[in-house]
């Protein structure tokens, strides 16, 4: 086990003090009071440890000492608190020549690297996936919120869980869910119509009422009402309920504030047994809110088990959601199932809600693209109130281009971290156990190396092929030479298992909103501030002016 730096310093002091006392008692330093030796040994040992850890090891002995370095001593804190998160990583990637790895921070016993090219990303996410894990304190804290489900499990437990969940996310099952997603999108659109009427800005002659809408809350409620039936067979009906405890809990915990960022950083530094004892009101908030969700999930698990044992549910009925599929395997305890439900509830709705919010923002800023997208939707989908098929949505070039660009430019989880759990190799470089490597979708997805000079621009057309007759069709590469140019959902064995589900959900929601409404920013001169502890979204919300466009 790798010792923490503070532990190593203490051990060094003990060794130095013991050695000094032994020399005094052994007559090497006759007449010298052993207490003076103790007083002298401690600062000397501490000084030598500092010199070794901060100068000798990183500059002379570290196998990573020749890697290109980012300037600065507080880069890890900068990456955590900056807006948008990943901005520094993108700057280093653009300005520091490298062969796949950049050393951006050194702490005693801990080196932080940024992965930048295809080979480094391939090694970390595919070739040597299980040589890396999420740091334990990161996992320990997040487990308080989402349990040790698929996202936080590692090694053999992860392989077992992924194998069990995989069938629920094959493409056939995802496409079968389009009807549910479109039905919920229809309810979402009706609620937006009501919101517009209740918050009018002005009435446009012959066009209807333009009203104010705060999109982040509605986006979160939509995706929660989709993941509820899909994950656990429970419709939370948060779109139509004035008060919904489940929706409120997630909004409360994931509200993007500086205090929550600070709370996150404290929990990453301190062990959980200590962090939970800090008299901080957020500890009480997390305990009470997650306690409610755990209790609810336990209740749903018990209801399903009793219904199945009592023959009220057949196997086919049980397999209609992820929870039922996992139950049938018989490999998971009730607590395991609760952890999985918490994971899918949190990850399965907040990420897509963030993507939908960013899509509405970008389309409000790019009115020409919004208009072309509306025309495409209305030309291929007769009505927002009628049925939909998966191929109708998946074949629309502009719709898919818009959704892909949103996922590329604005990944809801802009950065994540891995720690080497054994000696390994990345991009031809030997990596020591304990080295931490940051995977930064925000930076990689905007890298000029992968996307050229237009990497920062919102260009849905990069995801559209045009044949010699001018016919448009969907492409899935965006013109990049490798699929590692976009790592919003990561890749390999640890990629997001729900990536196709999320894309389908986003297609439905964007098609519905743009097909029925025209939207613009309430204040065109104001920007938005992205913030959040793990996922990010607009700190001040997304305030739009929307009007229903007749004829759909």
Q: What angle do CA 180, 183, 188 make, to 5 degrees?
A: 125
Of the candidates 222, 214, 255, the residue with the CA atom closest to the CA atom of residue 238: 222
Pairwise CA distance, residues 120 & 458, whole Å: 26
Pairwise CA distance, residues 503 & 60, whole Å: 48
Q: What angle do CA 236, 238, 240 make, to 5 degrees?
A: 115
Using CA of residue 226, residue 490, residue 126, residue 104, what is the dihedral sign? negative
Burial class (CB in 10 A: 0-12, 13-18, 19+), 539: middle
Pairwise CA distance, residues 168 & 231, whole Å: 9
508 is in an annotated binding site: no
Instruction: Count the residues in the chain.
Output: 552
Pairwise CA distance, residues 488 & 406, whole Å: 10
DSSP 81-102: HSSSTTHHHHHHHHHS--SSEE
Question: 337 in helix, strand or coil?
Answer: helix
Of the candidates 416, 434, 488, 435, the residue with the CA atom closest to the CA atom of residue 80: 416
CB contact at 8 A, 495 and 166: no
Helices (H) and strands (E) in the chain, counts: 23, 15
Give residues with Cβ within 8 angstroms of 104, minimum separation 6. Answer: 69, 70, 72, 75, 76, 79, 88, 89, 92, 112, 113, 114, 438
Question: 190 in helix, strand or coil?
Answer: helix
| Binding-site annotation: residue ranges | 496
| Binding-site annotation: residue ranges for heme | 496
């Amino acid at each position: 086990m790798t010792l923490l730096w503070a532990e190593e310093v203490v051990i060094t002091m003990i060794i130095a003090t013991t050695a000094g006392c032994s020399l005094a008692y052994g007559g090497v330093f006759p007449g010298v009071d052993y207490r003076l030796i103790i007083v002298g040994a401690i600062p000397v040992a501490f000084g030598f440890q500092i010199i070794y850890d901060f100068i000798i090891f990183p500059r002379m002995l570290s196998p990573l000492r020749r890697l290109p370095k980012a300037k600065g001593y507080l880069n890890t804190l900068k990456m955590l608190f900056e807006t948008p998160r990943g901005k520094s990583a993108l700057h280093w990637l653009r300005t520091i020549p490298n062969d796949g790895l950049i050393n951006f921070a050194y702490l005693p016993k801990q080196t932080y690297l940024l992965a930048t090219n295809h080979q480094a990303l391939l090694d970390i996410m595919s070739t040597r996936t299980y040589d890396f894990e999420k740091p334990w304190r990161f996992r320990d804290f997040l487990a308080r919120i989402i349990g040790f489900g698929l996202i936080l499990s590692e090694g053999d437990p992860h392989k077992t869980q992924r194998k069990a969940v995989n069938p629920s996310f094959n493409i056939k099952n995802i496409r079968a869910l389009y009807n549910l997603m479109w039905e919920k999108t229809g309810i979402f659109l009706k609620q937006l119509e009501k919101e517009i009427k209740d918050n009018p800005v002005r009435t446009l002659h012959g066009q209807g009422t333009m009203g104010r809408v705060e999109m982040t809350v509605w986006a979160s409620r939509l995706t929660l009402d989709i993941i509820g039936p899909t994950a656990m067979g429970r419709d939370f009906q948060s779109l139509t309920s004035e008060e919904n405890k489940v929706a409120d809990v997630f909004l409360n915990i994931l509200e993007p504030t500086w205090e929550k960022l600070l709370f996150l950083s404290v929990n990453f530094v301190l062990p959980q047994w200590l962090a939970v004892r800090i008299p901080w009101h957020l500890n009480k908030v997390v305990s009470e809110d997650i306690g409610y969700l755990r209790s609810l999930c336990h209740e749903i698990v018990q209801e399903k088990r009793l219904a199945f044992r009592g023959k009220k549910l057949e196997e086919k009925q049980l397999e209609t959601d992820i929870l039922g599929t996992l139950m049938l395997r018989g490999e998971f305890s009730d607590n395991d199932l609760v952890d999985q439900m918490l994971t899918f509830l949190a990850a399965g709705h907040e990420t897509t809600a963030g993507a939908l919010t960013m899509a509405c923002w970008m389309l409000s800023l790019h009115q020409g693209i919004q208009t072309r997208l509306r025309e495409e939707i209305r030309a291929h989908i007769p009505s927002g109130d009628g049925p939909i098929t998966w191929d109708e949505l998946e074949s629309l070039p502009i719709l898919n281009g818009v959704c892909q660009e949103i996922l590329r430019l604005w990944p809801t989880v802009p950065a994540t971290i891995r720690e080497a759990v054994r000696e390994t190799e990345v991009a031809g470089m030997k990596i020591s156990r304990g080295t931490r490597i940051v995977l930064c979708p925000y930076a990689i997805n905007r890298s000029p190396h992968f996307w050229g000079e237009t990497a920062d621009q919102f260009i849905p057309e990069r995801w559209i092929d045009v044949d010699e007759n001018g016919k448009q069709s969907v492409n899935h590469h965006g013109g990049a030479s490798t699929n590692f140019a976009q790592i919003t959902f990561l890749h390999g064995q640890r990629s997001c298992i729900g990536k196709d589900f999320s894309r389908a959900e986003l297609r439905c929601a964007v098609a519905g909103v743009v097909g029925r409404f025209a939207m613009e920013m309430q204040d065109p001169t104001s920007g938005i501030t992205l913030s959040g502890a793990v996922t990010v979204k607009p700190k001040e919300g997304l305030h739009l002016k929307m009007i229903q466009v007749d004829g759909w």
